[in-house]
């Protein structure tokens, strides 16, 4: 039997999660990003235990990270029979992930300012 320790999110990590959430990032995605930023790699089970997410939440969040090309997946063959175990790591640096959200918010802000300017034009004509 393999023995391992699982990283568990601490108070600073939870503050990171909450700050991501304040940017509109879903809880499970914010938690998964934070967890993977703190480990070299982890299996789904380790992610579930360390992040306190349920398996369906991990799967849904993983889809978002996959869509953004932020994770790397590899399969590790288990001893004996059974499917290989998938192990995940954050392919993108956490700085790149933060930059993505920064650019997203800058774009949203620019769009909002354009709308405000248009409203001002409409009332002055």
Interatomic CA distance for residues 62 and 28, integer angstroms: 9
Interatomic CA distance for residues 118 and 59, integer angstroms: 42
pLDDT at 4: 62
Residue 125: strand, helix, or coil: coil
Cα angle 44-67-13, degrees, rounded to a multiple of 5: 50
Residue pLDDT tens, the chain, 125 long: 355 677 888 899 999 999 999 999 999 999 999 999 999 999 999 999 999 999 999 999 999 999 999 999 998 887 777 788 889 999 999 999 999 999 999 999 999 999 999 999 999 87
pLDDT at 3: 53
pLDDT at 1: 39
């Amino acid at each position: 039997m393999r023995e391992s320790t699982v990283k568990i999110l601490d108070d600073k990590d939870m503050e990171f999660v909450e700050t991501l959430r304040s940017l509109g990032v879903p809880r499970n995605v914010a938690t998964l990003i934070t967890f993977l930023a703190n480990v070299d790699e982890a299996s789904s089970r380790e992610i579930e235990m360390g992040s306190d997410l349920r398996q369906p939440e991990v799967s849904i969040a993983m889809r978002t990270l996959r869509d953004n090309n932020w994770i790397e997946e590899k399969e590790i063959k288990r001893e004996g029979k059974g499917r290989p175990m998938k192990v995940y790591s954050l392919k993108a640096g956490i700085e790149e992930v933060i930059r993505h959200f920064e650019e997203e918010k800058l774009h949203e802000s620019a769009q909002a300012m354009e709308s405000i300017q248009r409203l001002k034009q409409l009332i002055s004509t």
